Structures are given as structure tokens and as C-alpha cells.
Chain A
Amino acid sequence: MRNQSQIDSEKRTATLPFIITFVIMIGFWLIFSGKFDLFHLSLGVVSCLLVTFFSSDLLFPTGLKTDFLACWVRFALYVPWLLYQILLANLHVLRLSFHPRMMALIDPHIIEFNSHLESDIARTTFANSITLTPGTITVNVSAMGRFTVHCIDVASGDPLPGEMERQIERIFKE
């Protein structure tokens, strides 16, 4: 009896990722095909159903958290801030590479710090954000949350982890 209800609840939790994956797939299909007649739409629905059936557990491997929608909204709010940081840091590296006394200005070194971000997705976002902002490249992230980062000079490595980690912490609510 209890076993049966467990299977039922697993089925219910698996339906929502299925639907979301399908919606994402059909969205991409519509954008990429650009044809809205019945033939292409039905082809799209069939192939998206097939792909969703095979791989809906790949997009959400741990199942959905309850506040995933709010999570996406917070992530969308984070993107403009990240773009602004990328612009600032890009200008910095641009100035470095055009600077006549470049060798005197740069000071490549490797820093390490511990992050208290727990989940895989938060760590991945953090590591990719570090690599996207120029002047810093994530070399390694250990399973314990220890980040190894290569910095081009002292100024670009200074603000880590700091503000960016707080922002990501707020997105994923840890």
C-alpha cells in the first residue's frame, strides 16, 4: 500500500520536469524552424516528445525544488549585474593588453579560497562567472568547495569571493 503511494508520488514529481523540458524543447523548435504551418508544427511536437521522453531526467537530474521559478527570476536579475562586471573587467584587460609597459603591470598568480556554496549548480554558476569576468580563470573546484583561481594581476583577484558569491548565494537561497 505504502509502496504504491510512493510510486504515485514519484510519478507526480516526474511529470513537471517532463512538461517543462517539453516546453523548452518546443520553444527552441519554433525559433529554429521559423515555420508555423501544421506539417512543421506536428513534426516538432512528435520529435520534442521523443527527446523529452528520453532526456527529461538529464535537464533536472535531482528533480525540481519547490521554488525553481523564483530561482530563475533571481538568476535573470543576476545576469545584468554579471554583464556589467564583465564589461568593467573587459575594459581592464583591454587596457592591459594595449599598455606599453604591460609586463610591469601584470602579476599572474594563483589564489585559493574556500566557498560555502553547497549545491553543484551554485558552484558551477560561480566558477563560470569567475571565468567570464576577465582577469580571473577558475583552475579547479574541489569537492569540498575549495576554489583555485588564476588571476592576471592583483586588482582582478582582489574582490573574490566577496560580492559575486553573495549574489549567487542569494539566487540559490542556501
Chain B
Amino acid sequence: MNIFITLLLICGLIFFTGGTLGILRFPDFYSRLHPAGKLDTFGLVTTVGALALYIAFVQGLFLTALKIGLIIVFVFITSPTATHAIVDAGVRAGLKPWTKPSSGEDQT
């Protein structure tokens, strides 16, 4: 069980690292939101899921594990909503999305 939990934690850390790297590397506001909003969601599921498993099966506190599980449910509802709100704010402010320079002529 401990090995499985450690594997989940490592997976989550890889996703978080990828998300951070993506925020830094992607070219513009909109594409940066992709790793920010989503890789974090999955990193959170794996790390927090590992925590819930640890508390449920190693420490035997099922109720606390259930509460931690609820965090995942709420993040799954709020995270896309928040991402959408940020994108919508960008569109309303009139920010143009970055497109590839080479394919810019035939796309616009």
C-alpha cells in the first residue's frame, strides 16, 4: 500500500512540475491557462488521493479520508469554472490569442 501511495505522490509531482513548466514555456495568456488549469487539477487528484488513501488505510481514519475526497469533487467543479472565468475576462478585455506566425495569414 505504501508503495502505491508513493507512486501516486510521485505522479502528482510530475504533473505539477509539468504544469509549472508549461506556464513558463507556453507563448501567450490563453495557452498558458491550459497547463495552469488542468495539469494542476490532475496533480491535485493524484496527490490528494494519495493522502486520502494514506489516512484511510494506514491511519484508519475513514471519515477524514472522505472529507479529503470531497476536496477533489469540489475542485473538479470549481477549477473549470475559474479557468473559464479567466478566459472570458481575457476575451472581454479584447486580448487576441497568439497564433503561429507561419499559419497566421490563412487563418485570419
Chain B residues contacting A31 (CB-CB under 8 Å) are 63, 66-67, 70
Which B-chain residue is minimally distant from A129 (CB atoms)? B80
> How many angstroms from the CA of A86 to the CA of B26 in the assembled complex?
20
Contact assessment for B38 and A134 in the assembled complex, using a CB-CB cutoff below 8 Å: yes
> How many angstroms from the CA of A106 to the CA of B35 in the assembled complex?
13
Chain A residues contacting B22 (CB-CB under 8 Å) are 93, 96-97
Which A-chain residue is minimally distant from B22 (CB atoms)? A97
Q: Which of A102, A108, A127 contacts B25 (CB 8 A)?
A: A102
Contact assessment for B63 and A131 in the assembled complex, using a CB-CB cutoff below 8 Å: no
**Segment with Cβ contacts to A, from B1-9, B52-60, B93-101:** B93-101
In residues 80-118 of chain A, which contact B (Cβ within 8 Å)? 86-87, 89-90, 93-94, 96-98, 102-103, 106-110
The number of chain B residues touching the other chain, given as a range, is 35 or more
Contact assessment for A128 and B34 in the assembled complex, using a CB-CB cutoff below 8 Å: no
Q: Which of A93, A127, A128, A134 contacts B77 (CB 8 A)?
A: A128
Contact assessment for B97 and A132 in the assembled complex, using a CB-CB cutoff below 8 Å: no
Which A-chain residue is minimally distant from B70 (CB atoms)? A31
Contact assessment for A34 and B63 in the assembled complex, using a CB-CB cutoff below 8 Å: yes
Which B-chain residue is minimally distant from A150 (CB atoms)? B30
Chain B 80-105, CB within 8 Å of chain A: the 1/0 string?
Answer: 11011001100100000111100100
New A-B contacts (19) at CB < 8 Å, excluding given A97-B35, A107-B103, A139-B87: A31-B67, A86-B38, A86-B41, A89-B38, A93-B22, A94-B14, A97-B18, A97-B19, A97-B25, A108-B30, A108-B31, A109-B99, A127-B80, A134-B34, A134-B35, A134-B42, A139-B88, A150-B30, A150-B97
Contact residues of B with A, CB < 8 Å?
A: 14-15, 18-19, 21-22, 25-28, 30-31, 33-35, 37-39, 41-42, 63-64, 66-67, 70, 76-77, 79-81, 83-84, 87-88, 91, 97-100, 103, 107
